[in-house]
Amino acid sequence: MTTLTYRDYLHIDKLLSIQAPRTPDTAGTEVVLAEHFFIVAHQTTELWLKQIIADLGAAAEALAPDPSRGQEGLAASDGELSAEFLLRANDLLLLLYNQLVALEKLPLRLFAEFRPFLDNASGAESAQFKAFSTLLGDDQSDGKLYETFRAATECAGTSVAEVCRLGVHSGVHHRIAELLLDIGNAYWRWKVAHLGVMSRSLGEQSGTGGSSGATYLAGRLAMPFGELRRLRGEVHAEMAAHHAAQRAA
Ligand code: HEM
């Protein structure tokens, strides 16, 4: 009987054969290795993004209101399941952040040497990053994840505003709201770190995708979960009004 090996189970040969620096070998080992580092950073990001998108999709699915439950709303176990997925997505985003920071150590002279071989290839073309951003939404429009959360609160006879007001007293809804904000802030931190890596290594040069580079990326910094943030802010105004009413009484 043959036993499954680590190498076969994980398709290691295939995995390790898809890093293909375009720098010619004649350029020297340090340039080829620098490009290899750049490729691995992008490929692993795409791999983790695959997991993050799937986890966020599963988190939304677990939250999706079940009409058969009526006003009972979210089953506690579904809420916890959703939270478990959100927690993993958040941990993975932190990992992507650290990985990006490692790219700051890409030696400039070597990057300048292999960059022409990238042609017009650019991270801006990443279909997975776009899907991820759409799922999260931004400060102007809510993504599917937040919309499902809002629907789950309404189905339970409460609201996101109420969840913000009650905090821990709203149970698993509060836990999910906090995790959404963790993820939103981790996404923002990744974007700021990416701008930092980019501006450190390119200055005012334009991107391989044809954008203005730093100016373009700075203009794309947006915070997900705009409504949730606004509703949290309103808790201060409500509390201030409450204090004022007490003083007047
Ligand atoms: C030395 C490292 C890096 C540099 C200099 C860099 C540079 C840039 C630039 C200039 C852009 C703007 C679009 C363009 O004109 O090309 C961009 C966009 C982007 N890059 Fe990078 N990048 C780096 C690393 C990474 C890594 C490791 C990833 C991970 C996959 C990544 C993902 C992206 C994404 C998703 C966008 C689109 C961002 C958005 O639409 O807001 N980049 N990058």
Say which CATH number the domain at 209 has: 1.20.58.480
Would 87 be classed as within a structural domain?
yes
Q: Does ligand 1 have an atom closer than 6 angstroms to the CB of 134? A: no
For the CA of 111, the closest atom of ligand 1 is 1
Would 1 be classed as within a structural domain?
no
Distance 176 CA to ligand 1 centre (A): 30
Would 3 be classed as within a structural domain?
no
For the CA of 46, the closest atom of ligand 1 is 30
Query: Angle at CA 143, nearest 5°, toward 140 and 144?
Result: 155
pLDDT of 1 reads 76
Mean pLDDT of 71-94: 88
Would 11 be classed as within a structural domain?
no
Dihedral, CA of residue 177, residue 181, residue 186 and residue 187, to nearest 10:
100
Q: Does ligand 1 have an atom closer than 6 angstroms to the CB of 210? A: yes
Tell me the pLDDT band of 71, cut-offs 50, 70 and 90.
low
Cα separation, 111 vs 121, whole angstroms: 15
* Mean pLDDT of the chain, nearest integer: 95
Would 187 be classed as within a structural domain?
yes
Distance 222 CA to ligand 1 centre (A): 15
Global model pTM greater than 0.85 = yes
Domain count along the chain: 1
- Residue 224's domain comprises 27-248
Would 133 be classed as within a structural domain?
yes
Q: Does ligand 1 have an atom closer than 6 angstroms to the CB of 41? A: yes
Would 7 be classed as within a structural domain?
no
Tell me the residue type at 63: L
Tell me the pLDDT band of 109, cut-offs 50, 70 and 90.
very high
Would 49 be classed as within a structural domain?
yes
* Residue of 198, 208, 212 with the most ligand 1 atoms within 8 Å of its CB, for mutation: 198
